[in-house]
Chains A and B, each alone.
Chain A
């Protein structure tokens, strides 16, 4: 059972489900963004972290999933964004988790963590602990 007080992570995962599998392994409260860009994004009313994979094209163009852009274009959602977690693959070199970097720079929040593909047990542990610590430090509960 995930308590109502658990840190909230809003995430996008494509049909390959890597990011989804990672989130399922953590003990956070989670909300998945719609797969289709035409669907309306949710509106969030409490602090959350955004977790997104990167679509690494050359030079990082178009790397932020459009569903995440649509979600962040809602002002109330942006107001509650406190950090970003990136999913990716180090094989993409300096574009590893570039979408998380872009959102963090644009919205002036930190990149809290990066993991590859569906994440390892160590990644799950670090994100669980890290988010709970972060929620306490910033009085987000």
Chain B
């Protein structure tokens, strides 16, 4: 529980959605609300036969990964997104943060739905106890929490974006891996909904960071850039240790680390910075990428494939209505 007194927004006016100061607020609100979902819609119980095919070690790994994700979603729902509220520059931005906070709580609850479908009460209690004792997981939580309790609005946004766009991915790897082997596919469908939400959250908080950064002096912009990379390194080092701890026994650590690099680049881009890891260390196995997105592998690109026989086609007639599909 939070011991510090929560800082509240000190002035409120009735929110008028017909007077928008930043069109991104409305666009993202629409996007998030149209993406709304609940775990009850996903037929998780269809995964029970598949779960039974996993070894005890694989089951334990899976439960640990999901408990780690539960902790991050709990932090983001009860502290992270809420800590951004007092710094919002528009009433609509505040409303978007309340949506983000709520959805993080939906995500956290989703893992419990997975657990109650697949595991016994004893196993569930055991893995939650593991989570409170694992040093890498606790360190991850403690680093992020310390920044949320700070009073720099832009630094809080950096920590939040790194959580949304980077810290989840050591965990998200595993359900994508199972899906690529046709295991726990309904669970993977649920995780994909979470992954979709986190992309919008990271995009939006990173966007608000960039808008705030524009108002700062060059010295302060440099300070924030240095801070971002320092925090990323600190979190990255811990993530690598956490990854080895979890995945060494199943031989997946090296590919998980590529996935970390790939997503660290995306987190930096959400904050407006250039990708840091070169392509040689972000080449995640194609099976994982296509479990994430069927169009993501390079065979779908004309430049990378064998598209030399292309003949330029004829332009069709178009009307506005034709594009409404």
Contacts and interface: CB of A to CB of B under 8 A. Distances in A.
B195 interface: yes
B303 A118 contact: no
A116 B31 contact: no
A117 interface: yes
A16 B207 contact: yes
B292 interface: yes
Contacts of A138: 310, 312
Contacts of A109: 312-313
B49 interface: no
Contacts, number: 135
Nearest to A57: B34
A99 B196 CA distance: 17
Contacts of A117: 266, 269-270
B320 A69 contact: yes
Contact of A93 (B23, B278, B293, B313): B293
B24 A108 contact: no
A91 B269 contact: no
Given A107-B315, A116-B269, A94 B31 contact: no
Given A96-B295, A106-B316, A113-B302, A91 B199 contact: yes
5 contacts: A16-B207, A90-B289, A114-B295, A120-B279, A127-B303
Interface of A: 14-16, 18, 21, 55-58, 61-62, 64, 69-70, 72-73, 75, 78-79, 81-83, 89-94, 96-97, 101-102, 106-114, 116-118, 120-122, 126-127, 129-130, 133-134, 137-138
In the A-B complex, the 6 residue pairs with the closest CB atoms: A130-B303, A91-B199, A108-B313, A78-B315, A90-B293, A117-B269
